[in-house]
Structure 1
């Protein structure tokens, strides 16, 4: 009898009860009992749980059939479950289909999750706070410091590279094509090289729970300045699926597009400057700042889109700028579909200056890196050393009559300088020139002052 009782007790102990959900979802969960033999690996657990809750995945263009079996299981802290000991009684687990990235679930308004990041300078976990389900928006705490905010503002003003320096913001997807818009009046710069920018990119990957940082899955850190009256009308960060024929922009069919945005506030703003999501209302119990009065609206042309936006920004879901705070919002759903609800805008600044930055993370290799890497040999034919820069970042010193080797991509800019910092040559790589290239300086036998 005692042996039978012990067997029953062990049987109960060796099972946990959980609720499983599809990737990024907080509804329609299924309660499941998990035993140790169900978790010989993370993959076997995913396959087992998919028998209770088939997942919605990438569509095969040839057969038009969705993947129905998950290959990863995440817990509520955004960690992949690999063994039985990681599973707690009554916790939530999330099934992710092959070739899709984990999406944080909303759970409920105000729900907080602590995320560890080795890159965090605050010595605290990054805190992700649920703000809105559709569009999926989170408030972020302890992502970066006051000193880093100031450092990025200083960085914005220091960049002097023609392609990266602070200038009128552009729109569109094509590298090197500077297209302005009357409905985007901010100024921006790009930083892919500074220590702060690199660290923030790595933190964003930790925050999103998508693994080791890969620079081909992120755009450069975009640094922004909105002065009084400046704004950006509502838009999506993802590109339409028919943006250009040479690229598959549809993640649902295995394509690549912007997946999520992390938006950082680098300064306080006296009035205005919210990030607004016009297709959603503010959560119940959260109030807006007072709607601007006639005197504040007088800075805009009567009937202009800026005036209209300034008013509407005080009626819809909005995050208000506060220095060292940030927001995360998704452009894609957990099943890979682009989310039109993610439409958002930069509200007009009514008083003060808004400094900000954003990180765009893609679901896979981003547009512009579609070709093979370009293998480049940089040849120094001078009888003295020179310096090699990628964009504005110093890469290495090349000895006299020597060379350096790097992997790069189409449209990347490389600069040679002498040891006094004088520019000798600027070269922008072009894919039509081949996947193996040699760039030589000097490019002729002429004296340096005639080059």
Structure 2
């Protein structure tokens, strides 16, 4: 063996400049308790990159697990000047691809992301080298590593502490995230607008189960535009999740009275369970019509990434959040049972954060969770869902993460739309009953349901000239069409929905 080869072997085996930094980001394999699936975080890689003697070197602990023999390799130093080639070379060394499930349509899966330890998205090889240690997330969005149960990390720049309460599923608790007076204001905002909580049921549920056998509570959705407090919380939560505020869904405030509950369920949408939508009963769905669900979620690749769950009150007895598959437990035979699993008792001002998707973008069945029956008192809480792609179809994903072999990061709905000047369209409902707003994609029969417009209320949408919006009397595409509105090139437009034969359109 030549002295040069021996020198390379010695240096590759000597470790990296990041040896003392790994502990905050990797998990011992023994912390994963399940025997029926791999013991690691699929798609989250902790990587150290540094330059030595004109050569880029790499060391990687794959899938978030501390390994005695991590991946070690070299990268051509010249690649550091070309971000696209750097990303492609890094992906080749780490040997991962987009095809991580059976959903297909991988042109719709967003590119992988590279992040600093602070959760900031990096966009050049220079930034990677400056950071030294980075997290590579195949699913494209920041993912907090759990490390171990009981691990506590400070959220940079804030007084908040993120405590790991479960590794499998990945669940965190942040105490004092909401002030008690903020909780009271949110309850007051919601209390006069409560309605029965809807359920979007999977095929395996719809034949035999009545909605009330699955969920008994009341809820109100509060648009952030209605409140400066909610707008501030949007930003506070975005800082917590390290996911842009454009990915956040409006908050769903929940009220559970004595005996009320929500059986075990997941928050993300797995296309495997949403095939025969024509046979479903017509449950009310505040996000989308059931016929359009698979297109709306980009065949699974546009999905709820995580839930930030707010506890707005204490509960004297019952009302816990249950994770029945924690502690390595098998799937529950009874989805209504609260006998086994990790139970988290409500604490006013505390939020729970759990991931519905794995770091590689696949659904995590371990994220199954329930709200146990309230046994004494009343429980106020809230769902706040964060998606892996922007909620607004017109917002593109970061250019920094576009891979050369992949050019399909846009949603299905916008794949045929040419970009134009943004238009702010406001739809004002002057009827004494709700109206329902749909976007009609060009050259497609299906429409995308984007929300209910309450009586004497308005909703605003970012759109483009030439877009067609349908207003219907029901929350599904088969309901009666009231009017179709084509967006003009005026930057601000108000469409007034009234009893007149045609809606009034004001161009501002």
2:294 match: 248
Q: Residue 354 in 1 paired to residue 382 in 2?
A: no
Q: Choose from 129, 133, 136 the match for 1:95.
A: 136
Q: Name the counterpart of 2:240.
A: 207
For the aligned residues, what is the CA RMSD? 4.8
Larger Rg: 1
Change (3 A) 1:57 1:102: farther
* Partner secondary structure for residue 434 of structure 1: strand
Describe the shift of the 1:328–1:87 C-alpha distance in structure 2 as closer, same or farther (beyond 3 A). Answer: farther
Query: Structure 1 residues 60-69 or 341-350, which shifts more?
Result: 60-69
Q: Which residue of the partner structure matches residue 279 of structure 1?
A: 325
Inter-partner Cα distance in structure 1 for 2:449 and 2:105: 33
Pair 1:77-2:118 in alignment: yes
* Inter-partner Cα distance in structure 2 for 1:71 and 1:442: 49
In the alignment, structure 1 residue 221 sits paired with structure 2 residue 251: yes
CA distance in 2: counterparts of 1:11 and 1:240, whole angstroms: 42
Give the alignment of 1:303-342 within 5 angstroms: 309-310=337-338, 312=339, 315-342=340-367
Q: Is the 8 A contact 1:247 1:367 kept in 2?
A: no
Distance 1:96 1:66, change over 3 A: farther
Contact 1:21 1:95 in 2 (8 A): no
Deviation at 1:68, TM superposition (A): 12
> Would you say the 8 A contact 1:410–1:429 is kept in 2?
no
CA distance in 2, matches of 1:251, 1:229: 34
Question: Conserved in 2, the CA contact under 8 Å of 1:330 and 1:342?
Answer: yes
What is the aligned partner in structure 1 of residue 212 from structure 2? 181
Considering fraction of residues, name the structure with more helix.
Answer: 2
Question: How many equivalent residue pairs?
Answer: 359
Note closer, same or farther for the CA distance 1:42–1:74 as it changes in structure 2 (3 Å cut). farther
1:49 matched residue in structure 2: 90
2:279 is the alignment partner of 1:237:
no
Aligned counterparts of 2:61 and 2:297: Cα–Cα separation in 1:
21
- Give the distance between the partners of 1:412 and 1:252, measured in 2 at CA: 22
Aligned-partner Cα distance in 1 for 2:119–2:163 = 13
Change (3 A) 1:232 1:360: same
1:255-283 per-position Cα deviation (integer Å, ceiling 9, x unaligned): 32222111011111222211111011299
- Find out whether 1:436 has 2:486 as its counterpart: yes
1:364 is displaced (CA, Å) by 2.5
Between the aligned partners of 1:230 and 1:379, the Cα distance in structure 2 is 35
How far did residue 110 of structure 1 move? 2.7
Task: Tell me how far 1:345 sits from its aligned partner.
Answer: 0.3
In structure 1, what is the equivalent of residue 199 of structure 2? Answer: 171
Of the structure 1 ranges 51-60 and 146-155, higher mean CA displacement relative to structure 2 is found in 51-60
Specify the alignment match of 1:265 in structure 2.
Answer: 311
Whole-angstrom CA distance in 2 between matches of 1:131 and 1:36: 41
What's the CA shift for 1:166? 1.3
Cα deviations by residue, 1:381-434 (Å, 9 ceiling, x for unpaired): xxxxxx99xx9xxxxxxxxxxxxxxxx9754416559xxxxxxxxxx9338532
What corresponds to 1:104 in structure 2? 144
Give SS of 2:213's match.
Answer: coil
Q: Say which SS state the counterpart of residue 95 (structure 2) adopts.
A: coil
Q: Does the C-alpha gap of structure 1 residues 20 and 184 become closer, same or farther in structure 2, counting only changes over 3 Å? A: same
Scaled by the length of structure 1, the TM-score of the pair is 0.64
Which structure 1 segments of 5+ residues have no match? 1-7, 117-122, 159-164, 284-304, 381-386, 392-407, 418-427, 445-451
1:154 aligns with 2:188: yes
